Amino acid sequence: MTRALARGLPFYTATLLLGQSFDVASIKPASPDEVMAITQTAGGRFTITNTSLKFLITWAYDVGNDRLFGDTKGLDSLNYDVAAKTPTERPAAGETRLMMQSLLADRFNLRVHRETRAAKL
pLDDT tens, position by position, 75-120: 888 999 999 999 998 888 789 999 999 999 999 998 887 778 777 7
Q: What was the pLDDT predicted at 19?
A: 64
Residue 46: φ, ψ to 5°: -130, 130
Task: Record the pTM.
Answer: 0.77
Q: Specify if 26 maps to a domain.
A: yes
* 120 falls within a domain: no
Contacts of residues 115-120 at CB distance under 8 Å and 24 or more positions apart, as own/partner, are none
Cα 77 to chain centroid, rounded: 16
User: What domain range is 101 assigned to?
Assistant: 2-108
* Strands 24-29 and 45-52, sheet pairing: unpaired
Residue 60 placed within a domain: yes
Indicate the number of domains in the chain.
1
- Whether residue 121 lies inside any domain: the answer is no
Residue 35 lies in a domain: yes
Within-domain flag for 118: no
